[in-house]
Amino acid sequence: MKNTVHGIHHVTCIAGDPQENLDFYVGVMGLRLVKKSVNQDAPDTYHLFYADAVGNPGTDLTFFPWPLMEPARLGVGLTVEVPFGVPVGSFDFWRKRFDAHNVKYDAEEIRFGEKTLPFRDPHGLPLALVETDAARDFVTWDDSPIPSAYQLRGMHAVRLWERMLAPTAKLLTEHLGFEYIGEENGWHRFGVDGGGSGKWVEVQAMPSERRGAWGTGGVHHVAWRVRDDEEEFAVRRQVESAGLSPTPQIDRFWFRSVYFKEPGGVLFELATDGPGFDRDENMEHLGEQLILPPWLEPHRAQIEAMLPKLEMPRVRA
Protein backbone atom coordinates (compact mmCIF):
# COMPACT_ATOMS: atom_id res chain seq x y z
CA MET A 1 0.00 0.00 0.00
CA LYS A 2 1.58 3.26 -1.11
CA ASN A 3 -0.48 5.68 0.95
CA THR A 4 -1.18 5.23 4.63
CA VAL A 5 -2.17 7.28 7.63
CA HIS A 6 0.60 8.13 10.12
CA GLY A 7 -0.97 7.85 13.55
CA ILE A 8 -3.44 9.91 15.56
CA HIS A 9 -3.94 13.54 14.46
CA HIS A 10 -6.59 14.55 17.02
CA VAL A 11 -9.45 13.06 19.00
CA THR A 12 -12.68 15.01 19.39
CA CYS A 13 -15.01 14.41 22.33
CA ILE A 14 -18.23 15.76 23.80
CA ALA A 15 -18.10 17.60 27.12
CA GLY A 16 -20.67 19.05 29.48
CA ASP A 17 -20.07 22.53 30.88
CA PRO A 18 -17.31 24.31 28.88
CA GLN A 19 -15.81 26.07 31.93
CA GLU A 20 -15.48 22.76 33.80
CA ASN A 21 -13.88 21.27 30.68
CA LEU A 22 -11.37 24.14 30.42
CA ASP A 23 -10.59 24.08 34.14
CA PHE A 24 -9.82 20.36 33.95
CA TYR A 25 -7.74 20.11 30.78
CA VAL A 26 -5.69 23.28 31.33
CA GLY A 27 -5.88 23.68 35.11
CA VAL A 28 -5.48 20.04 36.18
CA MET A 29 -3.99 18.16 33.20
CA GLY A 30 -1.76 21.06 32.12
CA LEU A 31 -2.55 21.04 28.40
CA ARG A 32 -2.51 24.32 26.49
CA LEU A 33 -5.73 25.73 25.05
CA VAL A 34 -4.34 26.23 21.53
CA LYS A 35 -7.58 27.27 19.88
CA LYS A 36 -10.87 28.64 21.17
CA SER A 37 -13.28 28.42 18.28
CA VAL A 38 -16.79 27.22 17.44
CA ASN A 39 -18.23 24.06 15.97
CA GLN A 40 -18.20 24.96 12.28
CA ASP A 41 -21.46 23.04 11.75
CA ALA A 42 -23.15 24.48 14.89
CA PRO A 43 -21.50 27.83 15.66
CA ASP A 44 -23.50 28.40 18.87
CA THR A 45 -21.23 25.73 20.43
CA TYR A 46 -17.60 26.15 21.34
CA HIS A 47 -14.90 23.96 19.86
CA LEU A 48 -12.01 23.87 22.35
CA PHE A 49 -8.63 22.46 21.30
CA TYR A 50 -6.10 21.33 23.94
CA ALA A 51 -2.58 20.28 22.96
CA ASP A 52 1.14 20.73 23.63
CA ALA A 53 2.66 24.23 23.40
CA VAL A 54 2.35 24.46 19.61
CA GLY A 55 -0.56 22.17 18.74
CA ASN A 56 1.50 19.35 17.23
CA PRO A 57 -0.63 16.76 15.42
CA GLY A 58 -1.03 13.81 17.79
CA THR A 59 -1.20 15.94 20.96
CA ASP A 60 -4.55 17.55 20.26
CA LEU A 61 -7.67 16.57 22.21
CA THR A 62 -10.68 18.69 21.25
CA PHE A 63 -14.17 19.13 22.68
CA PHE A 64 -17.64 20.21 21.72
CA PRO A 65 -19.23 21.22 25.04
CA TRP A 66 -22.92 20.30 24.84
CA PRO A 67 -24.14 20.55 28.48
CA LEU A 68 -27.75 19.72 27.57
CA MET A 69 -26.88 16.44 25.86
CA GLU A 70 -27.43 13.08 27.60
CA PRO A 71 -24.34 11.23 28.84
CA ALA A 72 -22.71 8.98 26.23
CA ARG A 73 -23.95 5.39 26.16
CA LEU A 74 -20.96 3.08 26.15
CA GLY A 75 -21.30 0.42 23.48
CA VAL A 76 -20.04 -0.92 20.16
CA GLY A 77 -19.21 1.43 17.31
CA LEU A 78 -17.54 3.95 19.62
CA THR A 79 -14.10 4.92 20.82
CA VAL A 80 -14.29 3.92 24.48
CA GLU A 81 -10.97 5.17 25.88
CA VAL A 82 -8.21 7.63 24.98
CA PRO A 83 -4.82 6.84 26.58
CA PHE A 84 -2.12 9.55 26.71
CA GLY A 85 1.64 8.99 26.83
CA VAL A 86 3.56 10.39 29.82
CA PRO A 87 7.27 9.94 30.60
CA VAL A 88 8.32 6.80 32.46
CA GLY A 89 8.29 7.42 36.21
CA SER A 90 5.41 9.96 36.13
CA PHE A 91 2.70 7.98 37.87
CA ASP A 92 3.54 8.96 41.47
CA PHE A 93 3.28 12.61 40.45
CA TRP A 94 0.00 12.06 38.63
CA ARG A 95 -1.64 10.01 41.40
CA LYS A 96 -0.85 12.80 43.91
CA ARG A 97 -2.25 15.38 41.52
CA PHE A 98 -5.40 13.34 40.92
CA ASP A 99 -5.87 12.93 44.70
CA ALA A 100 -5.44 16.68 45.21
CA HIS A 101 -8.05 17.49 42.53
CA ASN A 102 -10.54 14.70 43.25
CA VAL A 103 -9.94 12.96 39.93
CA LYS A 104 -11.13 9.35 40.02
CA TYR A 105 -8.61 6.78 38.79
CA ASP A 106 -8.45 2.99 38.70
CA ALA A 107 -5.74 0.54 39.70
CA GLU A 108 -2.59 0.57 37.59
CA GLU A 109 -2.51 -2.10 34.85
CA ILE A 110 0.12 -3.45 32.49
CA ARG A 111 -1.04 -3.32 28.88
CA PHE A 112 1.18 -4.67 26.12
CA GLY A 113 4.07 -4.34 28.58
CA GLU A 114 3.36 -0.70 29.46
CA LYS A 115 2.23 0.73 32.82
CA THR A 116 -1.25 2.20 32.40
CA LEU A 117 -3.34 4.31 34.78
CA PRO A 118 -7.02 4.59 33.71
CA PHE A 119 -9.03 7.62 34.89
CA ARG A 120 -11.98 9.79 33.90
CA ASP A 121 -12.50 13.46 33.22
CA PRO A 122 -15.20 15.43 35.14
CA HIS A 123 -17.87 14.50 32.56
CA GLY A 124 -17.05 10.78 32.59
CA LEU A 125 -14.75 10.54 29.55
CA PRO A 126 -12.56 7.41 29.90
CA LEU A 127 -8.88 8.35 29.64
CA ALA A 128 -5.62 6.73 30.71
CA LEU A 129 -1.98 7.60 31.20
CA VAL A 130 0.62 5.23 29.76
CA GLU A 131 4.28 5.46 30.80
CA THR A 132 6.47 5.58 27.69
CA ASP A 133 9.79 7.09 26.72
CA ALA A 134 9.03 6.91 23.01
CA ALA A 135 10.08 9.97 21.02
CA ARG A 136 7.10 12.16 20.13
CA ASP A 137 6.42 15.35 18.18
CA PHE A 138 6.02 17.37 21.37
CA VAL A 139 6.91 20.85 22.61
CA THR A 140 6.87 21.61 26.36
CA TRP A 141 4.45 24.35 27.42
CA ASP A 142 6.32 26.55 29.91
CA ASP A 143 3.15 28.13 31.38
CA SER A 144 1.62 24.74 32.23
CA PRO A 145 0.91 24.00 35.89
CA ILE A 146 2.58 20.60 35.18
CA PRO A 147 6.41 20.45 35.23
CA SER A 148 7.80 19.55 31.81
CA ALA A 149 9.05 16.15 33.09
CA TYR A 150 5.43 15.02 33.65
CA GLN A 151 3.52 16.77 30.85
CA LEU A 152 1.24 14.73 28.57
CA ARG A 153 3.12 13.81 25.38
CA GLY A 154 0.04 13.32 23.21
CA MET A 155 -2.46 10.54 22.60
CA HIS A 156 -0.80 7.14 22.91
CA ALA A 157 -3.59 5.06 21.33
CA VAL A 158 -7.34 4.91 20.89
CA ARG A 159 -9.45 1.96 22.08
CA LEU A 160 -12.56 0.96 20.12
CA TRP A 161 -15.40 -1.43 20.86
CA GLU A 162 -16.83 -3.20 17.82
CA ARG A 163 -19.51 -5.84 17.29
CA MET A 164 -17.08 -7.80 15.07
CA LEU A 165 -13.33 -7.53 14.74
CA ALA A 166 -12.88 -8.67 11.11
CA PRO A 167 -14.43 -5.80 9.09
CA THR A 168 -12.58 -3.12 11.07
CA ALA A 169 -9.34 -5.14 11.00
CA LYS A 170 -9.64 -5.42 7.22
CA LEU A 171 -10.09 -1.67 6.78
CA LEU A 172 -7.18 -0.88 9.09
CA THR A 173 -4.75 -3.33 7.47
CA GLU A 174 -5.82 -3.29 3.82
CA HIS A 175 -6.82 0.34 3.32
CA LEU A 176 -5.24 2.55 6.00
CA GLY A 177 -1.81 0.95 6.35
CA PHE A 178 -1.96 -0.60 9.83
CA GLU A 179 -0.27 -3.88 10.78
CA TYR A 180 -1.77 -6.37 13.19
CA ILE A 181 0.44 -6.50 16.29
CA GLY A 182 -1.31 -9.01 18.57
CA GLU A 183 -3.95 -9.67 21.19
CA GLU A 184 -3.98 -9.26 24.96
CA ASN A 185 -7.01 -9.70 27.26
CA GLY A 186 -9.36 -9.44 24.30
CA TRP A 187 -7.79 -6.24 22.93
CA HIS A 188 -6.35 -6.48 19.41
CA ARG A 189 -3.57 -3.99 18.79
CA PHE A 190 -2.80 -2.50 15.37
CA GLY A 191 0.09 -0.15 14.60
CA VAL A 192 0.90 2.10 11.66
CA ASP A 193 4.36 3.25 10.46
CA GLY A 194 5.85 0.46 12.59
CA GLY A 195 3.68 1.40 15.59
CA GLY A 196 4.76 3.29 18.70
CA SER A 197 3.23 5.90 20.97
CA GLY A 198 0.57 7.78 18.99
CA LYS A 199 0.43 5.10 16.30
CA TRP A 200 -1.72 2.43 17.97
CA VAL A 201 -5.37 1.53 17.71
CA GLU A 202 -6.75 -1.23 19.93
CA VAL A 203 -10.01 -2.99 19.13
CA GLN A 204 -12.13 -5.22 21.35
CA ALA A 205 -14.93 -7.30 19.81
CA MET A 206 -18.10 -7.20 21.95
CA PRO A 207 -20.59 -9.35 19.98
CA SER A 208 -23.46 -9.12 22.48
CA GLU A 209 -22.93 -5.50 23.57
CA ARG A 210 -25.53 -2.89 22.61
CA ARG A 211 -24.71 -0.12 20.20
CA GLY A 212 -23.08 2.92 21.78
CA ALA A 213 -24.32 6.48 21.39
CA TRP A 214 -22.66 9.89 21.41
CA GLY A 215 -23.17 12.04 24.49
CA THR A 216 -21.30 13.98 27.15
CA GLY A 217 -18.23 12.12 28.33
CA GLY A 218 -17.98 10.27 25.02
CA VAL A 219 -15.65 10.37 22.03
CA HIS A 220 -17.12 11.87 18.87
CA HIS A 221 -14.42 10.91 16.36
CA VAL A 222 -10.78 9.99 15.83
CA ALA A 223 -8.72 11.80 13.19
CA TRP A 224 -5.72 10.13 11.53
CA ARG A 225 -2.72 12.03 10.22
CA VAL A 226 -2.02 12.45 6.53
CA ARG A 227 0.88 14.60 5.36
CA ASP A 228 -0.84 16.74 2.75
CA ASP A 229 -3.75 17.03 0.34
CA GLU A 230 -2.26 14.59 -2.14
CA GLU A 231 -1.94 11.89 0.48
CA GLU A 232 -5.40 12.70 1.86
CA PHE A 233 -6.99 12.23 -1.59
CA ALA A 234 -5.06 8.99 -2.12
CA VAL A 235 -6.13 7.51 1.24
CA ARG A 236 -9.67 8.77 0.56
CA ARG A 237 -9.69 6.70 -2.65
CA GLN A 238 -8.53 3.64 -0.69
CA VAL A 239 -11.41 4.19 1.76
CA GLU A 240 -13.83 4.40 -1.17
CA SER A 241 -12.38 1.21 -2.64
CA ALA A 242 -13.22 -0.47 0.69
CA GLY A 243 -16.89 0.24 -0.10
CA LEU A 244 -17.19 3.11 2.39
CA SER A 245 -18.53 6.61 1.74
CA PRO A 246 -15.99 9.31 2.65
CA THR A 247 -17.10 12.95 2.51
CA PRO A 248 -15.47 15.37 0.09
CA GLN A 249 -12.49 17.19 1.56
CA ILE A 250 -13.66 19.87 4.03
CA ASP A 251 -11.48 22.88 4.85
CA ARG A 252 -11.21 23.18 8.64
CA PHE A 253 -8.80 26.11 8.15
CA TRP A 254 -6.09 24.75 10.52
CA PHE A 255 -6.18 21.41 8.66
CA ARG A 256 -8.22 19.80 5.88
CA SER A 257 -10.50 16.87 6.63
CA VAL A 258 -12.31 13.89 5.15
CA TYR A 259 -14.81 11.97 7.31
CA PHE A 260 -16.15 8.44 7.06
CA LYS A 261 -17.65 5.78 9.28
CA GLU A 262 -15.49 2.67 9.51
CA PRO A 263 -17.39 -0.63 9.06
CA GLY A 264 -18.22 -0.96 12.78
CA GLY A 265 -19.64 2.56 12.95
CA VAL A 266 -16.83 4.56 14.58
CA LEU A 267 -16.50 8.00 12.98
CA PHE A 268 -13.01 8.41 11.52
CA GLU A 269 -11.45 11.49 9.95
CA LEU A 270 -8.35 12.01 7.82
CA ALA A 271 -6.68 15.33 8.71
CA THR A 272 -3.68 17.00 7.08
CA ASP A 273 -0.68 17.89 9.26
CA GLY A 274 -0.88 21.53 8.18
CA PRO A 275 -1.40 24.45 7.91
CA GLY A 276 -1.52 24.41 11.75
CA PHE A 277 -2.91 26.48 14.62
CA ASP A 278 -0.59 29.46 14.13
CA ARG A 279 -2.18 30.21 10.77
CA ASP A 280 -4.43 32.88 12.31
CA GLU A 281 -2.84 33.59 15.72
CA ASN A 282 0.63 34.39 16.96
CA MET A 283 2.11 31.27 18.59
CA GLU A 284 2.56 33.21 21.88
CA HIS A 285 -1.14 34.04 22.10
CA LEU A 286 -2.79 30.83 20.95
CA GLY A 287 -6.21 30.26 22.52
CA GLU A 288 -6.62 33.69 24.10
CA GLN A 289 -9.24 35.06 21.69
CA LEU A 290 -12.30 33.50 20.09
CA ILE A 291 -11.11 32.59 16.60
CA LEU A 292 -13.56 32.11 13.76
CA PRO A 293 -12.77 30.73 10.33
CA PRO A 294 -12.96 33.52 7.71
CA TRP A 295 -16.41 32.47 6.46
CA LEU A 296 -17.93 32.86 9.96
CA GLU A 297 -16.17 36.14 10.78
CA PRO A 298 -19.04 38.29 9.35
CA HIS A 299 -21.32 36.70 12.02
CA ARG A 300 -18.95 37.27 14.96
CA ALA A 301 -21.30 39.52 16.98
CA GLN A 302 -24.22 37.05 16.85
CA ILE A 303 -21.93 34.09 17.55
CA GLU A 304 -20.27 35.74 20.57
CA ALA A 305 -23.68 36.66 21.96
CA MET A 306 -24.78 32.98 21.85
CA LEU A 307 -21.68 31.53 23.52
CA PRO A 308 -21.33 31.22 27.31
CA LYS A 309 -18.54 33.29 28.91
CA LEU A 310 -15.30 31.37 29.45
CA GLU A 311 -12.50 32.35 31.82
CA MET A 312 -9.04 30.87 31.89
CA PRO A 313 -8.84 28.16 34.56
CA ARG A 314 -9.52 28.84 38.17
CA VAL A 315 -7.78 25.60 39.16
CA ARG A 316 -3.98 25.84 39.31
CA ALA A 317 -0.92 24.28 40.96
Shorter beta-carbon distance to Zn ion: residue 169 or 223: 223
Strand 200-205 to 126-131 pairing: unpaired
Tell whether residue 223 is a contact of Zn ion (CB under 5 A): yes
The least distance separating Zn ion from the CB of residue 170, rounded to whole angstroms, comes to: 24
Shorter beta-carbon distance to Zn ion: residue 8 or 53: 8
CA distance 142 to 137: 16
Shorter beta-carbon distance to Zn ion: residue 111 or 256: 256
Report whether the peptide linkage leading into residue 275 is cis, meaning its omega lies within 30 degrees of zero: yes
The least distance separating Zn ion from the CB of residue 293, rounded to whole angstroms, comes to: 14
The least distance separating Zn ion from the CB of residue 50, rounded to whole angstroms, comes to: 13
Tell whether residue 232 is a contact of Zn ion (CB under 5 A): no
Q: Are 217 and 123 in contact (CB under 8 A)?
A: yes
Q: Which among 4-12, 38-46, 73-81, 96-104 is the span making contact with Zn ion, rule CB under 5 A?
A: 4-12
The least distance separating Zn ion from the CB of residue 252, rounded to whole angstroms, comes to: 7
Q: Which among 5-13, 113-121, 154-162, 290-298 is the span making contact with Zn ion, rule CB under 5 A?
A: 5-13
Distances (CA, A) of 236 to 92, 203, 204, 288, 295: 43, 22, 25, 34, 25
Q: Which among 101-109, 146-154, 222-230, 298-306 is the span making contact with Zn ion, rule CB under 5 A?
A: 222-230
CA dihedral 37, 137, 13, 288 (to 10 degrees): -20
Q: Which among 15-23, 26-34, 79-87, 218-226 is the span making contact with Zn ion, rule CB under 5 A?
A: 218-226
Tell whether residue 11 is a contact of Zn ion (CB under 5 A): no
Tell whether residue 12 is a contact of Zn ion (CB under 5 A): yes
CA distance 206 to 226: 30
The least distance separating Zn ion from the CB of residue 12, rounded to whole angstroms, comes to: 5
Tell whether residue 79 is a contact of Zn ion (CB under 5 A): no
- 3-state secondary structure (DSSP) of residue 254: coil
Tell whether residue 269 is a contact of Zn ion (CB under 5 A): yes
The least distance separating Zn ion from the CB of residue 10, rounded to whole angstroms, comes to: 6
Q: Count residues contacting Zn ion (CB under 5 A)? A: 3
Tell whether residue 216 is a contact of Zn ion (CB under 5 A): no
Shorter beta-carbon distance to Zn ion: residue 136 or 225: 225
10 Å Cβ neighbour count for 148?
Answer: 14
Distances (CA, A) of 298 to 42, 302, 303: 15, 9, 10
CA distance 29 to 63: 15
Tell whether residue 158 is a contact of Zn ion (CB under 5 A): no
Kindly tell me the burial class for residue 119, based on how many C-beta atoms sit within 10 Å of its own C-beta (0-12, 13-18, 19 or more): middle
Residues with Cβ within 8 Å of 1's Cβ and at least 6 positions away in sequence, in order, are 174, 175, 177, 238
User: Could you list the residues that contact Zn ion (CB under 5 A)?
Assistant: 12, 223, 269
